Amino acid sequence: MKFVTKERTNKSGPSTPTPEEDENVDIHNSYIAPDIEADDVPFNNAASSTNTPPRSPRLHASSSKRSRSRKSEDIRSKSGKSEDIRSRSGKVEEHKGADINQVGIYITWSEVWVTVPTKRGGRRPILDGLTGYVQPGECLAIMGPSGCGKSLLLDTLAGRLRTNTAQTGDILINGRRQTLAFGTSAYVTQDETLMSTLTVMEAVYYSAQLQLPDSMSRAEKRERAEMTIRDMGLQDAMNTRIGGWSVKGLSGGQKRRVSICIEILTNPKLLFLDEPTSGLDSAASYHVMNRIIKLAQLDKRTVIASIHQPSGEVFELFDNLCLLSSGRQIYFGPTARASEFFASSGFPCPAMRNPSDHFLRTINKDFDVDIKHGHGGSVVTAKKAIDILVKTYLSSETRRQAVSKVYEICQKHQETIVERDRQAGFITQCQVLTRRSFINMFRDLGYYWLRFVIYLALCVSIGSVFHDIGHTYGSIQDRGSVLTFIAGFLTFMAVGGFPSFVEDMKIFGRERLNGHYGVAAFVVGSTISSAPYLCFISVIPGAIAYFLVGLQRDFEHFVYFCLLLFACMLLVESLMMMVASIVPDFLMGIITGSGIQGVMMLNGGYFRLPRDIPKPFWKYPVYYISFHKYGFQGFYKNEFLGLTFPNVKVGGPPTISGEEILRDIWQVEMEYSKWVNLVILLGMVVLYRLVFFAIIKASEKLKPKIAAYLSSSRTKADDFSTAPSVELGCNVRRVRAFSLFDCRCYTVDLAFAD
């Protein structure tokens, strides 16, 4: 044998393989990883122990074609035609829009890789060159052990990958790269993020009002909601609250069905389900999946579901099966032929055993249990069994049929999906969100009612300690202390509602990700719904403290006192909403919000008078951006202006006016009236809400751009487009090499020819 120099090619083209190209080609020999340490490559240990080539994290860009061996010029000509067809699907051309009610949604993915960064600076694949398809009226089951990548594949197909992941490969909708409009797809997450205070009917009906267009009447939306609830078998629990920490409600399985109800209200043609049977008993699992699959067949819906361990009856409902283990594709094909595939690989399913249980037991390497292989009764490890199944599948007729089907779909179906009717209008969204949030706040004891009780107790305490302070010279300090406590520490209690803010943000995140409503409608709805409760808290406890202490009895002064307290509370809630949008953990959020308020309170002008505050940083700008400054001075002006107090200073005038107290003792800015302080605080409320809106919009806009930039930079840095070509008559071997120059291990492909 003599060494043959390998020629690298770098041709630009789409990556979806034709059936002829893919035949008898082992994808293990199609990638190299010269820049990544061997320890960063997963599955290497398993591969080393079984004489199979180690897996490589090298990906190919979605616009580049790998070099493969061609058996004849006929294969090259067919490949050229297929390249032309698929390259047209990636260009922006004028296509006639297709009605998805007639065409349906075909989704295909070819050689999809997903990698994450490692601590050593390399890339580790967690989805390893997957290929598959789903057609209208069919349901695909994604199965595998825990941690195999089921939910990750679902997120990849739905376009929900995180920013630290890099994804390559072709994911096409009806043979084209296109974005689906609202209402054409839906995603049911694994966790049930629902408002615990609403009933089943309320939760589904409010969602229907948000998602369905304004052209539908309220009666039609209610009828759609009731029909969807009956479809999921929840008619008996229609008036039952979902339940949470304060009240017992639905079971876990019923909550899962409510989540499904909310997402299928718009009759989406593409439905993603992340473990829809979790928490359901075998009978409920069968009825739920049976109903979903019947709806898919009736309405030509495309359903993709990750499922953990289905019963035998549920398993038989699925049309196709995608079986994964540690990100590697064990099998993709008809569900009915999966047992035949395992039997042909030497792992037949024993009699009287659920096939899905047998599959998962065979490919689960977490416990390293020995598995019987072949008819001779030999025993192999789980890692060896996985390698055998992967190798068998790569050369199987089932895989060739799957690749051929992907090619056929990409060739025949190249329709652009027309946009359906959008969700409800902005005004309707604001009304529905305000009403729903108002009901949630009313029923949730921890949102405002518990805080109301605490405010009552604090204000009674204030009134008792400072009861009827009078108009002596010593009452000047007492008045300042009372007003500072109310403006600072009483509003500080708004951090107690932060856990409820976090729950609202979780619900908003789920609904926003599915396109139920916009960010502006959420901000407006949350602001309007909270205003009546904050006003109620400001007036009732505030009146107790105001009159027990003996502040100015004039009605105008009391109204201003309540308005200023309301503005301060609304401002603190706006601040905590901003924190909740950045720090989703409620414990860290409370600490962060408390720290911000503590700094502002410290520089508000009471604990250190304004003229004594250090000018660098603390006065400019912290003192002027602190809302406590305007709250303190507004309360001081409202109380001291118009009052006179006896002067105890020797040699001074017998009395001292409130204006002199404000100017000399509290060092208040007297250039403008107290109403300007109120207007400034209300302006800061608007500003904080706008910042809250901007944070959410920025996270939505920047995250995809950051992900695309990181993915493209990693793709360029790793040079996925240059893969070794396999010459005719050559034997490619992948070996590990140790470099003495930089003391690192590399994975190298060598080609030998006789």
On average, the pLDDT of the chain sits at 80
Provide the pLDDT for residue 60.
36
Instruction: Give the residue, 377 or 751, on which the prediction is more confident.
Output: 377
Rounded-to-integer distance, Cα 592 and Cα 498, Å: 11
* 650-682 confidence digits (pLDDT tens): 777 889 999 999 999 999 999 999 999 999 999
* 67-95 confidence digits (pLDDT tens): 333 333 333 333 343 344 333 333 333 34
Measured in Å, how far apart are the chain's first and last C-alpha atoms? Answer: 5
In which band, very low, low, confident or very high, does the pLDDT at 420 lie, cut at 50, 70 and 90? low
Tokens of 55: 């897996």
* 674-721 confidence digits (pLDDT tens): 999 999 999 999 999 999 999 999 888 776 666 556 555 554 544 443
pLDDT of residue 170 exceeding 50, the answer is yes
Peptide bond just before 355 cis, omega within 30 deg: no
Rounded-to-integer distance, Cα 693 and Cα 689, Å: 6
Provide the pLDDT for residue 101.
64
Instruction: Give the residue, 45 or 162, on which the prediction is more confident.
Output: 162
Provide the pLDDT for residue 51.
34
Rounded-to-integer distance, Cα 29 and Cα 58, Å: 11
Instruction: Give the residue, 210 or 165, on which the prediction is more confident.
Output: 210
Provide the pLDDT for residue 729.
41
Token pair 């393989």: residue:
17
Instruction: Give the residue, 423 or 140, on which the prediction is more confident.
Output: 140
Instruction: Kindly tell me the sign of the dihedral angle through the C-alpha atoms of 167, 168, 174, 177.
Output: positive
* 190-245 confidence digits (pLDDT tens): 887 899 999 999 999 999 999 999 999 999 999 999 999 998 889 999 999 998 77
In which band, very low, low, confident or very high, does the pLDDT at 37 lie, cut at 50, 70 and 90? very low
* 712-738 confidence digits (pLDDT tens): 555 454 444 333 333 334 444 555 555
Return the percentage of the chain with pLDDT > 90, whole number.
49
Is the Cβ–Cβ distance between 307 and 354 less than 8 Å?
no
pLDDT of residue 252 exceeding 70, the answer is yes
* 492-510 confidence digits (pLDDT tens): 888 888 888 889 999 999 9
* 483-493 confidence digits (pLDDT tens): 999 999 888 88
Instruction: Give the residue, 734 or 171, on which the prediction is more confident.
Output: 171
Provide the pLDDT for residue 418.
62
Return the percentage of the chain with pLDDT > 70, whole number.
77
- Helix 627-640, helix 555-582: angle, nearest 10: 170
User: Helices in 486-518 by DSSP H: which ranges?
Assistant: 491-492, 498-513
Provide the pLDDT for residue 21.
43
HSE toward the beta carbon, residue 4, CA cutoff 13 A: 18
Rounded-to-integer distance, Cα 123 and Cα 40, Å: 7
Provide the pLDDT for residue 701.
79
Residue 412: count of CB within 10 angstroms of its CB: 12
Provide the pLDDT for residue 19.
42
Is the Cβ–Cβ distance between 494 and 596 less than 8 Å?
no
User: Helices in 35-132 by DSSP H: which ranges?
Assistant: 44-48, 73-90, 100-103
Tokens of 121: 């600076």
Q: Which residues of 553-586 are buried (b: 16+ CB within 10 A; e: fewer)?
A: eeeebbebbbbbbbbbbbbbbbbbbbbbbebeee
Pair type for strands 378-380 and 371-373: antiparallel
Pair type for strands 655-657 and 616-617: unpaired
What is the Cα gyration radius of the chain?
33
* 592-645 confidence digits (pLDDT tens): 999 999 999 999 999 999 999 998 899 999 999 999 999 999 999 999 999 999
Its pTM stands at: 0.77
Backbone φ/ψ region at 667: left (φ over 0), alpha (ψ -120 to 50), beta? left
Is the Cβ–Cβ distance between 210 and 517 less than 8 Å?
yes
Provide the pLDDT for residue 713.
56
C-alpha distances (whole Å) from 673 to each of 346, 562, 680 are 88, 17, 11
pLDDT of residue 66 exceeding 50, the answer is no
Which residue, among 92, 81, 15, has the nearest Cα to 416 in the 3D structure? Answer: 92
* 308-345 confidence digits (pLDDT tens): 888 889 999 999 999 999 899 999 999 999 999 999 98
pLDDT of residue 270 exceeding 50, the answer is yes
- The 3-state secondary structure of 20-51 reads HHHCCCCHHHHCCECCCCHHHCCCHHHHHCCC
Provide the pLDDT for residue 280.
81
